[in-house]
Structure 1
Amino acid sequence: MSTTSLPAPPVARKEPKETPLHGIVLTDDYAWLREKENPEVAEYLEAENAWAEAYMAPQAELRDQLYNEMLSHIKQTDISVSFRDGKYWYYSRTEEGKQYAIFCRKRGDEDGPHDSAHEEVLLDGNVMAEGRPFFAIGATDITDNGRWLAYTVDYTGFRQYTLFIKDLESGELLPGSVERVGSVVWAADDFNLFYTVEDEEQKRQFQFWRHMRGAPYAADYLVYQDDDERFNIGAGRTRDGEYIILESASHTTTECRVLCADEPEGEFRIILERQDEHEYYIDHRHGLWYIRTNDHGRNFRLVVCPVGREQRDHWMECIPHRENVMLEDVDLFDRFYIACEREGGLPRLRLWRFMRKTSIAESIGEIAFPEPAYSAHPHINRNFDTRTFRYAYQSLVTPSSVYEYDFGTGESLLLKQVEVPGGFDRTLYGSERIHATASDGTQVPISIVYRKDKRQTDKNPLYVYGYGSYGYALPLGFGSNRLSLMDRGIVIAYAHIRGGGDLGKTWHDAGKMLVKRNTFTDFIAAVEHLTANGYGDPARVAIEGGSAGGLLMGAVVNLRPDLFRAVVSHVPFVDVMNTMLDATLPLTVPEYEEWGNPNEEQYFNYMLSYSPYDNLKAARYPSMLVKTSLHDSQVMYWEPAKYVAKLRTLKTDNNPLLLVTNMKAGHGGASGRYDYLKEIAFDYAFLLKELGML
């Protein structure tokens, strides 16, 4: 069905709002769509939903087929790898037909859970979600004695979590709850609980409270409040259990406070006072702080110093700063530590073994990964005194796997690899890692995956994904859903563009603030390189991005609408100017360090040069599917709604422009696993149709 055989799509009314700044007047005809409680807003969003469904109605059978295909590749009744914490082994499991995971534990010893032990169900998401259109568990923490569980839940998708405490012995909830909670962490006495709370408007975690179990929450003690609007706070325990760490962090600066976990009523002590552009992260072992710091370079180094002597003149370097290696994290244990690094755009897990109880460690190599493009990171490792280390590994063709590395034998044991039923044969699929040359000569990595027997030079439809913001390295995981695309001959590519963290902090720096346009031109260069080198048909290129990746979609479509046949844009950050000029919105002030502050003229002019909403023009645009959620707390629903409303009045083509709003979810879409699959089936049906593959 073409758009011409349908009734006309919805048309949002115009109500101009003018914002003068720096000698320029920004005119927003659709600012009224911010009025969430206005019935006219809901009517417009529902009308867009209805129009999208009408356009996709001929693909109803295809959507069902795709859903069933994707479902066939999921082991619906399954169980995770269990991990030990104290005297229990914890795990989660799923049951066929149920939307949510069930979190459980069994008693055990060092060798594993007792098979005959009674299973304790800690949280059953299916029971907790009954009668609710959305459900998500947030933070969790269990007391050292294993009896009391603190957890948070979100019932709307707005990522606004409510705190509860559960007695795992009786199964009862303690009276009362707390709203807008972020981190939760128990003290060592099993009695005092610390938690953070966000403010009501900006969703910034800014307060840190102490609660005494059994007391009314109204009697809780405010430990700390961070009044700098750039900073969010979070809290946790060191792996050895000795300290509680309270961390304040902006996008470029951190500050850590610490308290002995067995002295909950004591005062937190600052390790190093915040200094602009200095990020540091700490952990503890045998009276020493291990500090990952970027004081000597953007890619971080590791230093150690005695507790109580945190000044820089007491620091001893363990791992130096390196220009081409990003030290992303350090996992610290009694006998060893793992340096989680990124080199050449790929993660490395480097192994260091301590010499007895000293801080001196020797490098014993790294865990080898055989594939050209993959993801690897520490798995759940709760025990400080251990001889083994668990890590997760997956690639574009290898399903998610959990391994255990033994420091005694030097070998890795596969504990579990996600089973992919439905006839999956990994040997049918191939992956590659290539590089495109950006306009300034920079080499941009691209990861590619496809079905080998379907590959034909220059003839395959091409599907390219990108993000490129916040220093976030694009993960290269296995997705069984993608089999439905590759089995139909689509080549899938991931562009590791500047603005992300794929090649360290300098890669991030080269795609933010006043050089943000590098992100967009890198993506265009990647697509052009792929089609020029036979990876796809230039006339059948589809692209996708979400959130800040949705900004990418909007920017590249404005720059090169001719390059793409279809676009899927999830919860897109497309109204850059209006959002970044509104300091009352969540994320705006903290993100001045990512995009710039448009109240300053140089940033205003630069941001205005690429803001997708402000740069829409009369032109031919690709087929576009724009998706959002009414309760999104990260990118408000009105950004994509306004974008689509404006684009409808400007586009000069007959290509479809669909706006789909999930009226009962947030930034991540549907919360139930089956509901989520239905959303993906819709996206894939749209892509297949627009790429001419029906």
Structure 2
Amino acid sequence: MSHAEHAPAAPQTPKVPTVRTHHGDAFTDDYEWLRDKDSPQVRAHLEAENAYAEAVTADQAQLREAIFNEIKARTVETDLSVPARKRGWWYFTRTAEGSQYAIHCRVAATDTGDLAADWTPPAIEAGVPIEGEQVLLDGNKEAEGKPFFSLGGMAVTEDGNLLAYAQDNAGDERFTLRIKDLGTGELLPDSIENVFYGLAFSPDGTRVFYTVVDDSWRPHQIKAHTLGTDPATDTVVFQEDDPGMWLGFDLAADRTELLISIGNSEYSETLTLDLLDPHAVPVMLVSREHRILHSADPLTLDGQRAYVITHDRDALNNMVSLLRIDQLALPFAQQRWETVLEHRDTVKVEGTAATATHLVVSVRKDTTERVVVLPLEGLGTAAQQPAVEPAFDEELYTCSLANAELEAPMIRLSYTSDFTPARVYDYTLADGTLLLRKQTQVNDYDPAKYRATREWATAADGTKIPLTILRRADITNETPNPVLVYGYGSYEMSMDPGFGIPRLSLLDRGVVFVIAHVRGGGELGRSWYLEGKKLAKKNTFTDFVDATKHLLDTGWADPKRIVAMGGSAGGLLMGAVANLAPQLYAGIIAQVPFVDALTSILDPDLPLSALEWEEWGNPIEDADVYEYMKSYSPYENVAALPYPKIAAVTSLNDTRVLYVEPAKWVAKLREQTTGTAPIVMKIEMDGGHGGASGRYEGWKTRAWDYAFALDTLGLNPAGA
């Protein structure tokens, strides 16, 4: 901390008043001028912010390097994924020590007639190529000479001859689509700029489907490109003009249908496109007019097409129904939706996937994600067999479906917990056997040295808030400890148990890492989300404060050594908490923080703003929403308070949370704070929403955040 006292003065941010008026309320914004990304003055200011952040945190450099080296040392850098079979090939990725990106590979599969043998992955060694191995795409070569590299999708034709892939070289999630001939290794002339996530080939390999975004960076078109033609002539398969709806697509398990999905957080629509007919047009499956939030998976039962639909029709936590194709011609009210899994108050159904013989259902039960499996035989009838859940021996874990191929006799499951490195299982559908295919190796790690437990804090309104408390096994609450509290609490996203090597560097230094599962997330079902959105959004913020107070009341936390951390919408949480209870925290780390939420959502032309209306409300049209958002939006509520040490970490090319939000927030915090703690902004000039690209750069980013936290907690050996 002493070094910060001798750091140079913070950048002076000029005030250029701009008045924003809505619903008769005039708000003067002194720092809106920072939005002009191309302005030399703005660029100079951002560079000055980086220089100041570097100066303030200079004595953390050694600690950052130590954390980075610990992450690197624990990581088995030369590694590979478990091969997954698709048609006649086994696909997998390799990573190599010293390389930033994955290498995507494949090797031919064999068909002997023995299903178990044919679907057993080949034995592959890390760092050792095998006979017949083919490199599809080497991310390291693709990234050479470029400031950023990220893949937005990959797809291979049914015959295995062509690869479509999309890459981003700026961090702004604007991808370029290319086609590679896997026989010759040559790129085809076809190249399409500014595509979004998601790619799929038609079954005959002559067309590739992709999405296009509008000016607000909302995917609004699905297009089909015929190979060898001018992209300017690409066909618009579907266009969505409602600015509050998101568009996407998925392939059916048998690759014969394209499922077009349009939706927001409250209702959706699904159409289906027959890929076997090049002249087909999308056909309505479930219309948005019914206001049902749902997803659909096509399958074939008794020779007839049907759709398994996960939906909230009279089912807050979702249920699963079967809709046979002969019902589609009937009016909605007359359609027969056969129950596959009924609604339960204690279990949230997340979605489904199908093989030729079984249905796999992802569910959330007791706050955690897991899967259940049931045969297709008799599905939706009295002859339906009971669902079976693969059993594991931990209380808090995450089990998710990694892959379910139509022809496979097994499904691929991903498993992890807070102190169990990722495992890959194959679950045999016929008898329920679990086969461990891979246990991720971690150097210098003993899980017995750590503990993960669940506690429940009580909110001011009596609601019980789940907390996950992670620490070294020798640390208890008999004496107070340095604590980092992490939260998110938006979009029904759950903070599920999962192993992370970087976190060990905090735990090993005696920090208790706490995840506050606040309202607005999805840990306790749909109601948990609804109680933390729109006009109930403040519950997210007060839950986090009450969770922190619980840690103090139960002896876990040293009152002078608590750091809060969150990113994106969790960064909004950080900004709100800074205004609500700055005295509780020694420091706050806000990663790509959504701290100027009201300004952004009031401008539908900004990236993705209109889509946010279903999460926060529409402050443009609704005066009550405007007033409510203004009462908690961090930027508008910065006041003369003793703010703690704060770091805002952002990226220049982020299209989800623009860099201007933390830039304005930091300027206003410095202007208003009555405290003396430094407030810094670190901006990645070549990164996107996830920061810089490449695994080593990602480790450096995490090391920066954690070093800042440790320094704030008094655990930096170089600090006073």
TM superposition score category, shorter chain reference:
over 0.9
Q: CA–CA distance in 2 between the matches of 1:559 and 1:249? A: 34
Give how far 1:455 is off: 3.8
Given that 2:604 and 2:610 are in contact with CA atoms closer than 8 Å, whether structure 1 keeps it comes out as yes
Which of 534, 539, 543 aligns to 1:513? It is 534
Bigger drift between 238-247 and 449-458 goes to 449-458
Partner of 1:206: 220
SS in 1 for 2:664: helix
Q: CA–CA distance in 1 between the matches of 2:366 and 2:209? A: 40
Partner of 1:380: 403
Q: CA–CA distance in 2 between the matches of 1:235 and 1:621? A: 45
Deviation string, structure 1 residues 556-611 (Cα, Å, up to 9, x no partner): 11000011111110000001221111110111111111001112100010001101
Quickly say closer, same or farther: Cα 1:314–1:156, change in 2 above 3 A.
same
Partner of 2:316: 298
SS in 2 for 1:538: strand
Quickly say closer, same or farther: Cα 1:367–1:112, change in 2 above 3 A.
closer
Which of 142, 146, 149 aligns to 2:156? It is 142
Q: CA–CA distance in 2 between the matches of 1:94 and 1:63? A: 24
The answer on 1:189 being equivalent to 2:210 is no
Deviation string, structure 1 residues 13-64 (Cα, Å, up to 9, x no partner): 0000001222221110000000001011111111111111111112222221
For normalisation by structure 1, the TM-score amounts to 0.97
Deviation string, structure 1 residues 501-527 (Cα, Å, up to 9, x no partner): 111111111000001000001111111
SS in 2 for 1:540: strand
Partner of 1:439: 460
Which of 261, 270, 274 aligns to 1:256? It is 270
Quickly say closer, same or farther: Cα 1:162–1:378, change in 2 above 3 A.
same
Counterparts of 1:58-97 in structure 2 under 5 Å? 58-97=59-98
Partner of 2:127: none
Partner of 1:170: 184
Quickly say closer, same or farther: Cα 1:358–1:513, change in 2 above 3 A.
closer
Deviation string, structure 1 residues 79-116 (Cα, Å, up to 9, x no partner): 11110001100000101111111000000122334875
The answer on 1:112 being equivalent to 2:118 is no
Give how far 1:358 is off: 8.6
The answer on 1:220 being equivalent to 2:234 is yes
Q: CA–CA distance in 2 between the matches of 1:308 and 1:356? A: 18
Letter in 2 for 1:333: T
Deviation string, structure 1 residues 216-249 (Cα, Å, up to 9, x no partner): 2122112221111111211221112231111112
Q: CA–CA distance in 1 between the matches of 2:355 and 2:424? A: 19
Quickly say closer, same or farther: Cα 1:449–1:114, change in 2 above 3 A.
closer
Counterparts of 1:386-465 in structure 2 under 5 Å? 386-421=408-443, 423-455=444-476, 457-465=478-486
Q: CA–CA distance in 2 between the matches of 1:488 and 1:450? A: 10
For normalisation by structure 2, the TM-score amounts to 0.94
Q: CA–CA distance in 2 between the matches of 1:114 and 1:216? A: 43
The answer on 1:680 being equivalent to 2:702 is yes
SS in 1 for 2:557: coil
Give how far 1:298 is off: 2.0
* Structure 2 gaps, min length 5: 111-117, 125-129
Partner of 1:128: 142
Q: CA–CA distance in 1 between the matches of 2:274 and 2:588? A: 52
Partner of 2:29: 28
Deviation string, structure 1 residues 424-476 (Cα, Å, up to 9, x no partner): 00110111011111111111111111111244523211111100001111122
Partner of 2:46: 45
The answer on 1:371 being equivalent to 2:394 is yes
Give how far 1:276 is off: 6.0
Q: CA–CA distance in 1 between the matches of 2:380 and 2:278? A: 28
Quickly say closer, same or farther: Cα 1:456–1:474, change in 2 above 3 A.
closer
Give how far 1:364 is off: 4.2
Counterparts of 1:223-242 in structure 2 under 5 Å? 223-242=237-256
Counterparts of 1:269-348 in structure 2 under 5 Å? 269-275=283-289, 277-286=291-300, 287-310=305-328, 311=330, 312=332, 313-348=335-370
Letter in 2 for 1:289: Y
Deviation string, structure 1 residues 643-687 (Cα, Å, up to 9, x no partner): 001111111111121100000101000111111111111111111
Q: Any runs of at least 4 consecutive aligned residues in structure 1 with deviations exceeding 6 A, and if so which?
A: 356-359
Quickly say closer, same or farther: Cα 1:479–1:343, change in 2 above 3 A.
same
Q: CA–CA distance in 2 between the matches of 1:189 and 1:357? A: 31
The answer on 1:582 being equivalent to 2:603 is yes
Q: CA–CA distance in 2 between the matches of 1:456 and 1:20? A: 50
Q: CA–CA distance in 2 between the matches of 1:451 and 1:590? A: 42
The answer on 1:474 being equivalent to 2:511 is no
SS in 1 for 2:58: helix
SS in 2 for 1:132: coil
Deviation string, structure 1 residues 144-163 (Cα, Å, up to 9, x no partner): 11111111111111111111
Q: CA–CA distance in 1 between the matches of 2:270 and 2:191? A: 27
SS in 1 for 2:615: helix
Q: CA–CA distance in 2 between the matches of 1:151 and 1:363? A: 40
Deviation string, structure 1 residues 379-398 (Cα, Å, up to 9, x no partner): 123x2122211111111110
SS in 2 for 1:227: coil
Letter in 1 for 2:201: W
Given that 2:190 and 2:227 are in contact with CA atoms closer than 8 Å, whether structure 1 keeps it comes out as no
Letter in 1 for 2:348: M
Partner of 1:561: 582
SS in 2 for 1:461: strand
The answer on 1:548 being equivalent to 2:557 is no
Given that 2:379 and 2:385 are in contact with CA atoms closer than 8 Å, whether structure 1 keeps it comes out as no
SS in 2 for 1:47: helix
SS in 1 for 2:297: strand
Give how far 1:284 is off: 1.4
SS in 1 for 2:653: coil
The answer on 1:610 being equivalent to 2:632 is yes
Partner of 2:114: none
Which of 615, 618, 629 aligns to 2:651? It is 629
Given that 2:358 and 2:376 are in contact with CA atoms closer than 8 Å, whether structure 1 keeps it comes out as yes
Partner of 1:160: 174
Given that 1:252 and 1:276 are in contact with CA atoms closer than 8 Å, whether structure 2 keeps it comes out as no
The answer on 1:663 being equivalent to 2:685 is yes
* Identity score, percent: 40
Given that 1:336 and 1:361 are in contact with CA atoms closer than 8 Å, whether structure 2 keeps it comes out as no
Letter in 2 for 1:380: N
Letter in 1 for 2:74: H
CA RMSD across the alignment? 1.5
Given that 2:369 and 2:496 are in contact with CA atoms closer than 8 Å, whether structure 1 keeps it comes out as no
Give how far 1:408 is off: 2.9
Letter in 1 for 2:121: G
* Structure 1 gaps, min length 5: none
Q: CA–CA distance in 2 between the matches of 1:544 and 1:646? A: 20
Q: CA–CA distance in 2 between the matches of 1:576 and 1:195? A: 30
Deviation string, structure 1 residues 260-316 (Cα, Å, up to 9, x no partner): 221132111111221263112111111111111111122111111222423542221
